[in-house]
């Protein structure tokens, strides 16, 4: 994790929020490369799960919703964590996390020497187990109290109970309260889904592990409505679609590069299920901190639509033409954390290898995820024609992709820099490309494309570049595209 955090800062992926003021607790800013990566993830999610499907539509709802939404959804009553406070140092912990922390101990058997003891273990000198604050090792902990994780604010100029509003703790509720608007305006038939990507806020007691658990984060959630009276392949529709979404989400992560051995499904135990859930399955990823939740896929039944109908007094049903009856749809909810996806894709792509006796750091991003698709590099920055040609190539390719120009180091160094941020292809312009007008030598108008992963190179005419990158960035394998180009050159 430390290696990734340092790479993220050094190469402009993620910065600590308000760093010059000492940072804001567990808030992060995405830098120039991080924002590209994150936007690519959201764009691919939207393309693959919304635009390309006939049964999906999207919305973009406001973050501040009517406060009754949170009463109806259960968040006001249930969205709490048990917390304990240290009476001495005033630090706050999640009651259910305290035993999983290493603890500070002033050991009486060693004249009060201070030790940090691994989580759950007793002191090897005096045999004592933790009873006091794990951090300062001195204070008693209070009894657990329930702490609501929603950020409270006030709408309008007066700070009074009547104007209380909450920053949404999940994007999901906007899909439920807009169910009828979307159904009527788009004339949809079950099953169909509504998706939304946007910010959510939770006043987590113990945020941490970089962008894994923060207080402000981005989610992409889908609420997929099914008719509970329908059967698909002999199974109740909600159960069938739940499994379909689990499989589709797993396939999506694999498609963009997460390795099979780093992904697994985790079924929630009965006592772990949220108050609305009939069944929840998490996709867990082997993060640098260990196996943890990347996303959850829940069967929320008809809980939310019924609750909002009850609290708003509005009917939130679907008219089943075949059976001539109104039904309250069941909901399957794939809920992804975009920041956790960023972390997982970075962790999975990170490789250190040895090349000719030197360490090479590579982010082997899938080309569609890579923040920069192509870097155009002049071999000699003192040669004006080379620099001019390289700028022209960048400008032309940048009409379609994120393409950068860099001449701030020697070519070997420039390649390494691009490897480290995951740029799949570099284009090098050299003397042969432009020729030497003083010596009367014409250039061949060709440039070298270098593949990040194999480091293999192929020389192609400048005017072929858009077509070649169309193939490569559109999913074509380097080996095949390069072999085709070699054949064309030999003809
Ligand atoms: N609507 C259901 C829901 O919000 P969740 O499991 O609480 O379910 C869904 O959240 C996903 O959102 C999680 O799997 C995780 O990826 C992400 N997420 C939740 N809390 C987060 C936090 N504090 N920081 C970053 N991501 C978070």
Residues 6+ apart with CB under 8 A from 364: 257, 349, 351, 422, 452, 453
pTM of the complete model: 0.90
Supply the residue whose CA is at minimum distance from atom 2 of ligand 1. Answer: 335
How many Å lie between the centroid of ligand 1 and the Cα of residue 391? 43
Distance 297 CA to ligand 1 centre (A): 11
pLDDT value at residue 290 = 92
Q: Of all protein residues, whose CA lies closest to atom 4 belonging to ligand 1? A: 170
What's the 175 CA to ligand 1 centre distance in angstroms? 16
Is 279 in contact with 298 (CB distance < 8 Å)?
yes
Closest Cα to residue 13, out of 33, 28, 41, 27? Answer: 33
Q: Which atom of ligand 1 is found nearest the CA of 215?
A: 23
pLDDT at 147: 86
Helices (H), 398-438: 411-420, 431-434
- The residue whose CA has the least distance to atom 24 of ligand 1 is 213
For residue 57, what are the contacts with CB-CB under 8 A and spacing of at least 6? 50, 182, 186, 188, 192, 193, 194, 195
What pLDDT shows up at residue 215? 94
In this prediction, residue 275 carries a pLDDT of 84
pLDDT of residue 491: 67
d(CA 29, CA 361): 23
* pLDDT recorded at residue 34: 97
Residue 259's pLDDT is: 96
Q: How far apart are CA 70 and CA 72, in angstroms?
A: 5
Residue 225: helix, strand or coil by DSSP? strand
pLDDT 10s digit of each residue in the chain, 491 long? 889 999 999 999 999 999 899 888 789 999 999 999 999 999 999 999 999 999 999 999 999 999 999 999 999 998 888 889 999 999 988 888 899 899 999 999 999 999 999 999 999 999 999 999 999 999 999 999 888 999 999 998 888 888 899 999 999 999 999 999 999 999 999 999 999 999 999 998 878 799 999 999 999 999 999 999 999 999 999 999 999 999 999 999 999 999 999 999 999 998 888 888 999 999 999 999 899 999 999 999 999 999 999 999 999 999 999 999 999 999 999 999 999 999 999 999 999 999 888 899 999 999 999 999 999 999 888 888 889 999 999 999 999 999 999 998 889 899 999 999 999 999 999 888 888 877 878 888 889 999 999 999 999 999 999 999 999 998 888 888 888 888 877 76
Please tell me the distance between residue 79's alpha carbon and the centre of ligand 1 in angstroms.
Answer: 13
Kindly report the protein residue whose alpha carbon is nearest to atom 16 of ligand 1: 337
Pocket of ligand 1 from Cβ distances under 6 Å: 170, 172, 202, 204, 213-214, 217, 219, 221, 293-296, 333, 335-337, 339-340
**Residue 171 CA to ligand 1 centre (angstroms):** 10
Query: Who contacts 22 (Cβ-Cβ below 8 Å, separation ≥6)?
Result: none
Q: Which atom of ligand 1 is nearest to the CA of 338?
A: 16
The phi, psi pair for 25, rounded to 5°, reads: -50, 120
Q: Choose one of 335, 336, 342, 343 to mutate for the ligand 1 pocket test, by most ligand atoms within 8 angstroms of C-beta.
A: 335
């Amino acid at each position: 994790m430390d290696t990734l955090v340092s790479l993220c800062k050094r190469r402009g992926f993620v910065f600590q929020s308000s760093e010059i003021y000492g940072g804001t607790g567990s808030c992060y800013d995405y830098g120039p490369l991080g924002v590209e990566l994150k936007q690519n993830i959201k764009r691919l999610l939207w393309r693959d799960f919304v635009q390309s499907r006939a049964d999906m539509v999207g919305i973009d709802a406001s973050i501040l919703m009517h406060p009754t939404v949170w009463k109806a959804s259960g968040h006001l009553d249930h969205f709490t964590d048990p917390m304990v406070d240290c009476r001495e140092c005033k630090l706050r912990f999640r009651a259910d996390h305290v035993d999983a922390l290493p603890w500070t101990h002033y050991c009486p058997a060693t004249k009060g020497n201070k030790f940090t003891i691994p989580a759950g273990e007793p002191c090897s000198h005096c045999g004592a187990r933790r009873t006091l604050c794990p951090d300062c090792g001195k204070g008693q902990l209070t009894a657990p109290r329930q702490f609501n994780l929603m950020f409270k604010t006030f709408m309008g100029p007066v700070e009074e109970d009547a104007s209380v509003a909450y920053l949404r703790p999940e994007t999901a509720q906007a899909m439920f309260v807009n169910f009828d608007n979307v159904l009527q305006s788009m004339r949809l038939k079950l099953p169909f889904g509504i998706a939304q990507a946007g910010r959510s806020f939770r006043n987590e007691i113990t945020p941490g592990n970089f962008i894994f658990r923060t207080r402000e984060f981005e989610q992409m959630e889908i609420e997929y409505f099914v008719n509970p009276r329908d059967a698909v392949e002999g199974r109740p529709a909600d159960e069938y679609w739940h499994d379909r979404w689990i499989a589709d989400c797993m396939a999506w992560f694999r498609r963009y590069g997460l390795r099979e051995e780093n992904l697994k499904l985790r079924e929630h135990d009965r006592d772990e299920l949220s108050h609305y859930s009939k069944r929840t399955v998490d996709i867990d990823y082997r993060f640098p901190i260990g196996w943890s939740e990347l996303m959850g896929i829940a069967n929320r039944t008809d809980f939310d639509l019924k609750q909002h109908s009850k609290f708003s007094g509005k009917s939130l049903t679907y008219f089943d033409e075949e059976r001539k009856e109104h039904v309250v749809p069941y909901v399957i909810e794939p809920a992804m954390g975009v920041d956790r996806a960023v972390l997982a894709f970075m962790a999975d792509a990170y490789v250190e290898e040895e090349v000719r006796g030197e360490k090479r750091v590579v982010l082997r991003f899938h080309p569609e995820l890579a923040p920069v698709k192509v870097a155009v590099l002049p071999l000699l920055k003192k040669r004006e024609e080379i620099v001019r040609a390289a700028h022209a190539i960048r400008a032309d390719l940048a009409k379609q992709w994120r393409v950068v120009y860099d001449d701030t180091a020697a070519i070997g160094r420039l390649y390494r820099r691009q490897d480290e941020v995951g740029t799949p292809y570099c284009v090098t312009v050299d003397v042969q490309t432009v020729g030497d007008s003083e010596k009367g030598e014409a250039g061949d108008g060709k440039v070298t494309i270098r593949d990040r992963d194999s480091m293999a190179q192929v020389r192609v005419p400048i005017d072929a570049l858009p077509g070649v990158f169309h193939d490569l960035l559109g999913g074509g394998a380097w080996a095949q595209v390069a072999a085709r180009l070699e054949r064309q050159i030999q003809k």
